[in-house]
Homo-oligomer: A and B are copies of this chain.
Amino acid sequence: MNKNQEHLLRQITDTIEPSLTAHNIRANGKSISRLSTKNINIIAKKNGTGLDIIIQPNTKNEIVHIPVLIDESGIEECVYNDFYIGEYADVQIIAGCGIHNDGTLASRHDGIHTFHVGKNARVKYMEKHYGDGQGHGKRNMNPKTVIEIEKNGFMEMETIQMQGIDSTKRSTTAKLAENATLIVKEKILTQGDQTAETDFDVNLCGENCSTNLISRSVAKNASRQIFRAKMQGNNKCYGHTECDAILMDQADISAIPEIAAHHLEANLVHEAVIGKIAGEQLIKLMTLGLSEKEAEEQIIHGFLK
């Protein structure tokens, strides 16, 4: 792993060293390190399009890392990873992507991740997207997540994009069985002329299933964001979606939630707020000695923390 790749890896993974856990590190289109454990089997698909990650039932407190690193300008790839999480497992999956682009060609990673969350299983899934580099070549990512949660299953997904991605189309679809729970926390910061689109489509199918989608975003400069969230209540269920967005400079943000109740006991709520940083907050911090810019940074940092 070269210096750029090491830097990308530090940006997108948590503090835990991937090499100590089940992992697959993909760099410039190839696997450069892979480890399966007794309970977690990571196998390359025969057609070469991605990985199957098979987590045995009852696997507890294990972590899977599958970071993707790109530091060659011009790499454009589409990878299919399928996660099978066995019954009563309780695991954490960390799957970020970092692109360093010093060249003139666009680099792009499209990760299509499918999660089969078994009965009574619990998964925490984190996905961090990061870009840097001196070139004019674009850094693009289009993560697609397909989730199926069986009876009593639980999944929490955290998706973070704070820097350096020129264009993202983030699509997440989910289908929940009886008593299943899905929590999604999205944090996005765009700047320059970046664009970020988010699309959620959650189907609440099983009795007493529930979802909570929370999006917090900041758009600076001339960046553009679109947030779409569709929740369909097909049974006795609870769904909540919330989009809080801070607008700065000449940025542009749209929020388009859709809630559809197809069952008497579907209980659906959404809320969204788009606005600039409150003047009082800025003034308060400036009276404490911060410049306007510092005060703004501190407010944004707190908002996206």
A residues in contact (CB < 8 Å) with B: 233, 245, 247-262, 264-276
**Residues of chain B contacted by A245 (CB below 8 angstroms):** 261
Residue pair B257, A256 in contact (C-beta under 8 Å): yes
**Residues of chain B contacted by A269 (CB below 8 angstroms):** 271-275
- Which listed residue, B248, B249, B252, B259, touches A274 by the CB 8 Å rule? B259
Residue pair A274, B264 in contact (C-beta under 8 Å): no
A261-B247, A275-B268 given as contacts; is B253 within 8 A of A256 (CB)? no
- Which listed residue, B252, B264, B268, B274, touches A267 by the CB 8 Å rule? B274
Taken together as a complex, chains A and B put the C-alpha atoms of A256 and B258 apart, in Å, by 4
Taken together as a complex, chains A and B put the C-alpha atoms of A103 and B256 apart, in Å, by 42
**Residues of chain B contacted by A261 (CB below 8 angstroms):** 245, 247, 252-254, 274-275
Residue pair A260, B253 in contact (C-beta under 8 Å): yes
Taken together as a complex, chains A and B put the C-alpha atoms of A271 and B269 apart, in Å, by 8
Residue pair A268, B257 in contact (C-beta under 8 Å): no
Residue pair B268, A274 in contact (C-beta under 8 Å): yes
Chain B, residue nearest A268 (CB): B274
Chain B, residue nearest A253 (CB): B261
**What are 12 pairs between A and B in contact, CB < 8 Å?**
A254-B261, A255-B258, A255-B259, A256-B256, A256-B258, A256-B259, A261-B274, A264-B276, A265-B276, A266-B275, A270-B272, A271-B272
A218 to chain B, nearest CB (A): 13
Residue pair B267, A270 in contact (C-beta under 8 Å): no
Residue pair B255, A262 in contact (C-beta under 8 Å): no
Taken together as a complex, chains A and B put the C-alpha atoms of A265 and B251 apart, in Å, by 11
Taken together as a complex, chains A and B put the C-alpha atoms of A273 and B266 apart, in Å, by 11
Taken together as a complex, chains A and B put the C-alpha atoms of A208 and B101 apart, in Å, by 44
**Residues of chain B contacted by A267 (CB below 8 angstroms):** 274-276
* Most chain B CB inside 10 Å of its own CB: which residue of A252, A261, A273, A276: A261
**Residues of chain B contacted by A254 (CB below 8 angstroms):** 258-261
**Residues of chain B contacted by A249 (CB below 8 angstroms):** 264
**Residues of chain B contacted by A265 (CB below 8 angstroms):** 276
**Residues of chain B contacted by A252 (CB below 8 angstroms):** 260-262
Residue pair A257, B260 in contact (C-beta under 8 Å): no
Taken together as a complex, chains A and B put the C-alpha atoms of A265 and B252 apart, in Å, by 11
Known: A248-B264, A259-B272, A269-B271. 7 other contacts (CB 8 A): A252-B262, A254-B258, A257-B257, A266-B275, A268-B272, A269-B273, A271-B271
Taken together as a complex, chains A and B put the C-alpha atoms of A290 and B254 apart, in Å, by 46
**Residues of chain B contacted by A260 (CB below 8 angstroms):** 252-255
Taken together as a complex, chains A and B put the C-alpha atoms of A252 and B276 apart, in Å, by 36
Taken together as a complex, chains A and B put the C-alpha atoms of A289 and B249 apart, in Å, by 60
A182 to chain B, nearest CB (A): 19
Task: Kindly list the 8 A-B residue pairs having the minimum CB-CB distance in the complex, ordered from nearest.
Answer: A254-B260, A267-B275, A256-B258, A271-B271, A261-B274, A268-B274, A269-B273, A253-B261
